[in-house]
Amino acid sequence: MTPLDQVNLSELPSKNTRLEQTRLLLQEALTSFEPGRVALSFSGAEDVVLIDLVKALGLKVDVFSLDTGRLHEETYQFIDTVREHYQQPIEMLYPDPAGVQTLVKEKGLFSFYRDGHGECCGVRKVAPLRSKLAKLDAWITGQRQDQSITRGNIPLREEDTNFAGSSAEGQPSALIKFNPLSEWTSADIWNYIREHEVPYNALHDQGFVSIGCQPCTRSVGPFEHERAGRWWWEEATKKECGLHSQNIINVVQA
Assign domain 4-200 to a CATH class. Answer: alpha beta
Return the higher-pLDDT residue of 42 and 172: 42
Q: Which 3-state string (H, E, C) describes 194-234?
A: HHHCCCCCHHHHHCCCCCCEHHHECCCCCCCCCCCCECCCC
pLDDT at residue number 161:
83
- Best CA proximity match to 174, nearest among 156, 155, 159, 162: 159
CB neighbour list of residue 49: distance below 8 Å, 6 or more residues apart: 142, 181, 189, 192, 193, 198
Tell me the residue type at 126: V
Instruction: Give, as one character, the DSSP assignment of residue 71.
Output: B
pTM, entire model: 0.82
**For the ranges 2-16, 139-153, 183-197, 240-254, the one whose mean pLDDT is highest:** 183-197
Return the higher-pLDDT residue of 102 and 168: 102
Q: How far apart are the C-alpha atoms of 192 and 180, rounded to whole Å? A: 14
**For the ranges 82-96, 116-130, 150-164, the one whose mean pLDDT is highest:** 82-96
pLDDT at residue number 45:
94
- Yes or no: say if 61 and 40 are a contact pair by the CB < 8 Å rule: yes
Tell me the residue type at 105: K
Q: Would you list the domain boundaries of the chain? A: 4-200
Annotated active-site positions, please? 241
